[in-house]
Structure 1
Amino acid sequence: MNSSYSDLKKIFVDGEIFDYINLDRSVTTYDKLVQSLDKPLKLILFYGKPGTGKTFLLQKIYNDLKKKKRIIFFPRPFFEEKVFLASLYEHIFGKKSPEFSNYNEFLEMIRKHITSTDQAITVLIDEAQLYPTDLVEKIRLMADSRLFKFLFTVHKTEKEDVLAKDYFQTRIWETIEIDNASSGEIKTYIEKKLLFHNRFEYLNLFSQRHYLLISKLTHGNLRTINKFMYRLFEILEYYDHNKPSAIKANALHVKYLEMAGISLGMIDA
């Protein structure tokens, strides 16, 4: 027998790009990024901890701007110069790239196609911290040509502050950071997820106490929140199958959140 919680947990499967949820910080960051892309800047750095929604924002920016300006979005990293250049060519011209003998030949081809700096092509690069240093240097030279404008998106981790990397620090013209969600934004995030999937009848399961606990356990990281909510509904699914009387329809006992936290290693058992 299928449980209603079986469907609820699927709502929080990470990576659903079309489930974009507007939060205060994401709206503010979105506006900053779009404004920066309108400026005559060559290199922009967008960074934040893994799971803060950077890729979601890049995808939204790309979808919103692709009919208004020349813009390319690379969600996955490149490790070879020739593959990167070929992909750029194919996105610009809509056909298979020829074999370029060198980087300068590629640049000359683009220079013939772009006659003014107003036509510069915007390139959104996700996971830029994975690019090899020599390719990042070539991208910097491409930006210097004014034929391209690049937005680097990188992870900021506890072990390594990306701003300390010389090839970012000395070349970036503007930096924009996105933070983790507050407890109020977590409430908005969960409520909008449920409403988006027409599950409004489950909103009364959660109280302010629940949202504060979720904030404490997940530190406001969207990816971690998705994992937590998935595990929570997985636990409720189990009880719905095996002991339905233990679940109240109009309230959720905090012990289930604690069980999810223990299961994910957020709480020491």
Structure 2
Amino acid sequence: MSSNRYTIIKNLFTEDSNENEYIHLDKSVAAYKKIMNLIEKPVKLIVFYGKPGGGKTFLLKKIVKDLKDRDDIIFFSYPFFNESEFMSSLYEAIFKEEPKDKVETYEQFVKICNTKFDENNKKIFTVFLDEAQLYPEILIEKIRLLSDSGFFRFIFTVRKTDNGDILTKDYFQARIWESIDIGSIDINDMRVYLESKLQAKKFDYQFLKFTDEQFELISRLIKGSLTMLNKLMFNFFELYEYFEENQPTVISTDTMNTKILEMSAIRSELINA
């Protein structure tokens, strides 16, 4: 194990660490409860959206992990671009085997479901689709038809954009039963996140070294993105790691060094040099 404390701290903000150590923020807790509640209701189509980097995927992985003992939960973390690929992957996820015959269309897939499932004991599968804004329009329509079959409910996770993608168009919105907006993280969420991360490994004294002005700067830099916050903090503590080993007097102060914070923002491509 490294003797440099900042090596340990910077690694708290890597992707692997974030997946294993989910931080409960107010907005994500509210979204979590609503999604878990909707899973138990006869809802066909749900849109879960928020700005890029707002924590949607982190929350989805948390939900899927919490429901890992259920066999009616399916999570696709990657988008599909054609009907055949999607139907075949859905078949394999449900039946835990490759199809004996090709499953290329919605019609073929529904016919198989009608054959394999007991009409008197119909199971409803909940399918989480991450990055759903990347799906082609025709496939989105086939997924909507699948939701009418009675076998599935779909939760589309969508990046909140202004480019008029299929999931925000009027004719599709009319078919959405529920929508959940995770929102952007604000400065209070950001502080809770950082404090929780550092406290988990007994580095809470490092959190106390940030000033209010520095928190405001960080908030302006990341613009509500949890992804950008992690990137910024990784680069920040990596620079502290360097100074600890080479010029410790630079960081031997009671508060964090704002110049190093600005340097880490340049590294993170949040500001121009």
So what's the TM-score if we normalise by structure 1? 0.90
Measured in 2, the distance between the counterparts of 1:191 and 1:171 equals 41
Kindly report which structure 2 residues correspond to 1:151-166, keeping only aligned pairs within 5 A, or say none: 151-160=155-164, 164-166=168-170
Kindly report which structure 2 residues correspond to 1:50-129, keeping only aligned pairs within 5 A, or say none: 50-68=52-70, 70-98=72-100, 99-100=102-103, 102-112=105-115, 113-115=117-119, 119-129=123-133
Q: Which residue of 1 aligns with 2:13?
A: 12
Residues matched between the structures, number:
269
**C-alpha displacement at 1:189, in angstroms?**
0.5
Measured in 2, the distance between the counterparts of 1:21 and 1:30 equals 12
Q: Which residue of 2 aligns with 1:202?
A: 206
Amino acid at match of 2:32: Y
Q: Could you say what secondary structure the match of 2:119 adopts?
A: coil
Greater CA drift, 21-30 or 100-109: 100-109
Measured in 2, the distance between the counterparts of 1:211 and 1:157 equals 26
Measured in 1, the distance between the counterparts of 2:162 and 2:62 equals 27
Distance change in 2, residues 1:25/1:89 (3 Å):
same
Q: Which residue of 2 aligns with 1:135?
A: 139
**C-alpha displacement at 1:118, in angstroms?**
5.8
RMSD: 2.4
Measured in 2, the distance between the counterparts of 1:67 and 1:140 equals 27
Measured in 1, the distance between the counterparts of 2:215 and 2:122 equals 47
Measured in 1, the distance between the counterparts of 2:166 and 2:250 equals 48
Question: Which of residues 261, 264, 268 is equivalent to 1:260?
Answer: 264
In 2, are the aligned partners of 1:72 and 1:124 still within 8 Å (CA)? yes
Give aligned-pair identity as a percent: 43
| Cα displacement string for residues 160-194 of structure 1 (whole angstroms, at most 9, x for unaligned residues) | 56653356423211111111112111111011112
In 2, are the aligned partners of 1:114 and 1:120 still within 8 Å (CA)? no
Distance change in 2, residues 1:11/1:101 (3 Å):
closer
**C-alpha displacement at 1:42, in angstroms?**
0.9
Measured in 2, the distance between the counterparts of 1:103 and 1:263 equals 47
Point out 4+ residue stretches in structure 1 off by more than 4 angstroms.
Answer: 158-163
Q: Could you say what secondary structure the match of 2:19 adopts?
A: coil
| Cα displacement string for residues 15-52 of structure 1 (whole angstroms, at most 9, x for unaligned residues) | 53112111011001111111222221111111111111
So what's the TM-score if we normalise by structure 2? 0.88
Question: Which of residues 208, 218, 225 is equivalent to 1:221?
Answer: 225
